[in-house]
Structure 1
Amino acid sequence: MDKDQASALLDKYRRGECTPEEERMLFEAFNRMPLPDRAPLSDDAYRQLETGSLASIHRKIAQNERRIWQRWASFVAAAALLAFVSVAYLFLDKPSGTGENRLASEILPGGNRAVLSVAGGPSLQLDSNQSNIVMDGKHIVYADHTPISGLELGNFNEALLPLVLTTPKGGTYQVTLSDGTRVWLNAASTLKYPSRFDGKERTVELSGEAFFSVAKDTKRPFRVVSDKQQIEVLGTEFNVSAYPDEGATKTTLVTGAVRLHVGTNGVSVSLFPGEQAVSKEGSVTKQEVDTESFTAWKDGYFKLNGSLQHIMAQVGRWYDVEVIFEHNVDASMELVGEISRDVKLSDILRMVNEIDGGLKFKVEEIAGHQPGESLNQRKRRLTIMK
């Protein structure tokens, strides 16, 4: 396929007129094409691709118009992502204009990082090659049954131990509780839970964000306690975002039913699948939402469906960077799109920049790092400016 054919096919794809066979040809052509042969298309063709929004992020205009960007299965694969979604940068050989520097391209995504501790006692850095710990009767093991060594738990069989699982910025981990409930813990989050559930209820405490798949037990309700609310369920799947710095707690129900108790004034609300409760300052509101927008993180991707400020808060936690907006940046602009959480920070910035070509990014190290620290251990600041 020569450049003229590629240009014509790209334009046809932009208009949504490609057949499945033509889409397959387009993907294969980009995957086969060596970088030196990806000569620039004409400026006119480039402008067509830009204005046609071939890439993944669009701005939500005041009239509330949104264009939905299709999630490509191959996008999760790095080769296909760079070959197709980034075609505006690789194939067209055009500068991105994002203003991000070399440091951004070196900042890697987060991974399986967490600390397990006995409340007020010893702690252990969990294996980053694992992703899930299991409360397995008398023992705590990894999901593949590898024993967890290095944490003195005393007489685990008899004692009811208060355990704490903590993820840093740039970390995520899973835990299967003693009743079979599975919990996915997002970055910068803490889950407090007992080594086993005794009594008539199952209670855990959360700060940050987690997705719960609760094992059904009609005799023992499951409760999630956070700073602003308490959730009571019997068996269901839901996501809770309760970061202290966000001011509000969001509970999103995927399956089943839950009841929330907010504050000390007896305020409560029931949720059904597809609904979200937002609790703030003792009050609560309820709305219907796209649940995937709030659970995508546990499946390994960002679903960008909110304000720039909200999206960049997620990015900041995952890439462990402090995010600052200069005063002339509209942080309330809304995004629609999806991107894998496995890409480098620079790939995220390229995508976000397509909202407005005037956006610029500066990533810098914050003074005070220790000698011998790797790049991803150092403190970084991301400034978003015009």
Structure 2
Amino acid sequence: MEKLSTFLEDLRFIEWVVQPTPELQGFWNDHLRNHPEDRENIEAAKRLVIRLRIREIPLDEKEKIVLFSRIIKHIEHQGNRRKRMALVSGWLRYAAVAIVFFALGYLLFHQKESIDPRFFTEEYAVPSNGGSAKLIRSTGDDIILEQDKSLITYSPDGQLQINQVPIDKASDRSNTKAGSLNQLVIPYGKSSRVLLSDGTTVHLNAGSRLVYPEVFHGSTREVILSGEAFFEVSPDAERPFLVYTNDLRIRVLGTKFNVSAYPLDNVVETVLAEGRISLGRNDENRNVKSYELKPGDLASFNRTSGETVLRQVDLDNYILWTEGILKFESTHLSRVLKRLERYYDIRFNIQDALLGTMQISGKLVLTDDPGETIERIARTASVTIEKSNENYYMVRK
């Protein structure tokens, strides 16, 4: 017997309830004939979808932040095993987004059922191979960001500007009430800077995703990060700023720090430039140790061992990327090349695994031409890097 959540994740089921067609009616009638044991859960799921269409479940901003965090954690855990789902078009797509969102929220916060929110895998996954950056509004609308380095600004009341161009409120169907979340998705080869409604600036690196409200409400300011970002948090002693990643929760009042939490990296790195932050695990175990960082501290959380190590570092190695500069000291060649992959949206194939462990030091100005940067890396590491096709390079001794 399928679980209730299985039907709430199935867009064919959502479409059948919201806008039935003879084809869908036949499909689900056949399903009921072949699987009569599912009838009870199908009827319950139908009632829930209908109820949620009529009356929105009142999740506040904090609950939705936690919900998105759980969804993103699942997406990152699934990795390449996830299934890609076809999206319905037009208004039904946005209706389905809203329905499934609130249905999942209802289950998570009211029925406490363990769910598998695969729908969001397609809708919110970072496009790592090319494509345009996009801003996903709380209504489900996508705004494509044409520039490689975009600037997104929110006024204190949530009015949006993109690259200093105001977004016409007449076509802006989202709102600034509590729980209204936006999501910025930045693919490889792109970057973005976001000025949030509280005055906080976020520099979002390539291959990253940020979930945040248009206007902060309540006693805290909370965002979700997947990937890498440098935060310049606007001071507010009454409302702490919280950053959630897949594994960690970072609490600040007003400070500057960098977080690198890419889904496929085994280590999550948080480095503090100014002020003070508290860092702990993003889970329900309140007994897990938290760490207080001071300027110059790097906290490295190992996802495999669950251990966190603190040490003092050269800040330039971790934050100069915001100025288009890559600085590294005694860093494995494979790690330097990974950063270049994200910045330029290219791929390296290291022929000998030992080459990847070679430690190199240097400072690179990341120009628009990847060829120039790659040539300098090859000279620094004394290796040969050859272009095999448009976006792939072979690395050998």
TM-score (norm 1): 0.63
- Residue 55 of structure 1 corresponds to which residue in structure 2? none
Unaligned runs of 5+ in 2: 1-128
- Residue 249 of structure 2 corresponds to which residue in structure 1? 230
Look up the equivalent residue of 1:309 and give its one-letter code: S
- In the TM superposition, residue 346 of structure 1 has moved relative to its aligned partner by 1.6
Structure 1 segment 186-201 matched on structure 2, within 5 A: 186-201=205-220
Which residue of 283, 286, 289 maps to 1:267? 289
**Whole-Å separation in 1 of the counterparts to 2:314 and 2:367:** 23
Call closer, same or farther: CA 1:113–1:288 in 2, change over 3 Å. farther
Look up the equivalent residue of 1:270 and give its one-letter code: E
**Contact persistence 1:202–1:221 (CA under 8 A):** yes
- Residue 396 of structure 2 corresponds to which residue in structure 1? 385
- Residue 186 of structure 2 corresponds to which residue in structure 1? 167
**Contact persistence 2:148–2:190 (CA under 8 A):** no
- In the TM superposition, residue 130 of structure 1 has moved relative to its aligned partner by 6.4
**Contact persistence 1:329–1:385 (CA under 8 A):** no
**Contact persistence 1:118–1:153 (CA under 8 A):** no
- In the TM superposition, residue 327 of structure 1 has moved relative to its aligned partner by 2.3
Call closer, same or farther: CA 1:130–1:240 in 2, change over 3 Å. closer
- In the TM superposition, residue 267 of structure 1 has moved relative to its aligned partner by 2.1
- In the TM superposition, residue 140 of structure 1 has moved relative to its aligned partner by 0.4
Which residue of 240, 250, 255 maps to 1:221? 240
SS in 1 for 2:264: helix
**Contact persistence 1:118–1:164 (CA under 8 A):** yes
1:134 lines up with 2:153 in the alignment? yes
Look up the equivalent residue of 2:240 and give its one-letter code: P
**Whole-Å separation in 1 of the counterparts to 2:167 and 2:366:** 27
Call closer, same or farther: CA 1:328–1:283 in 2, change over 3 Å. closer
- In the TM superposition, residue 321 of structure 1 has moved relative to its aligned partner by 1.2
Structure 1 segment 1-386 matched on structure 2, within 5 A: 114-119=133-138, 121-128=140-147, 131-136=150-155, 137-142=157-162, 144=164, 146-148=165-167, 153-158=172-177, 160-262=179-281, 264=285, 265-281=287-303, 282-305=306-329, 306-327=331-352, 329-357=354-382, 359-365=383-389, 380-386=391-397
SS in 1 for 2:249: strand
Higher relative contact order (CA 8 A, sep 6+): 1
Look up the equivalent residue of 2:361 and give its one-letter code: V
- In the TM superposition, residue 309 of structure 1 has moved relative to its aligned partner by 1.0
- In the TM superposition, residue 155 of structure 1 has moved relative to its aligned partner by 5.0
Call closer, same or farther: CA 1:195–1:349 in 2, change over 3 Å. same
Call closer, same or farther: CA 1:260–1:152 in 2, change over 3 Å. farther
- In the TM superposition, residue 156 of structure 1 has moved relative to its aligned partner by 2.2
Look up the equivalent residue of 2:318 and give its one-letter code: F
Call closer, same or farther: CA 1:143–1:355 in 2, change over 3 Å. closer
Greater helix content: 2
Look up the equivalent residue of 2:342 and give its one-letter code: R
Unaligned runs of 5+ in 1: 1-109, 366-374
- In the TM superposition, residue 303 of structure 1 has moved relative to its aligned partner by 1.1
Call closer, same or farther: CA 1:252–1:287 in 2, change over 3 Å. same
**Contact persistence 1:184–1:212 (CA under 8 A):** yes
Deviations 1:106-154 (A, max 9, x none): xxxx99962101257111112417631111124101353x213599542
Call closer, same or farther: CA 1:120–1:382 in 2, change over 3 Å. farther
**Whole-Å separation in 1 of the counterparts to 2:177 and 2:247:** 33
**Contact persistence 2:227–2:261 (CA under 8 A):** yes
Residue-pair matches, total: 262
**Whole-Å separation in 1 of the counterparts to 2:221 and 2:180:** 14
- In the TM superposition, residue 336 of structure 1 has moved relative to its aligned partner by 1.7
**Whole-Å separation in 2 of the counterparts to 1:180 and 1:162:** 17
Deviations 1:23-53 (A, max 9, x none): xxxxxxxxxxxxxxxxxxxxxxxxxxxxxxx
Call closer, same or farther: CA 1:133–1:259 in 2, change over 3 Å. same
**Contact persistence 1:124–1:150 (CA under 8 A):** no
**Whole-Å separation in 1 of the counterparts to 2:170 and 2:386:** 41
Call closer, same or farther: CA 1:173–1:300 in 2, change over 3 Å. same
**Whole-Å separation in 2 of the counterparts to 1:242 and 1:201:** 22
Look up the equivalent residue of 2:299 and give its one-letter code: A
**Whole-Å separation in 2 of the counterparts to 1:153 and 1:217:** 29
Q: Percent of aligned pairs with the same residue?
A: 30
**Contact persistence 1:239–1:253 (CA under 8 A):** yes
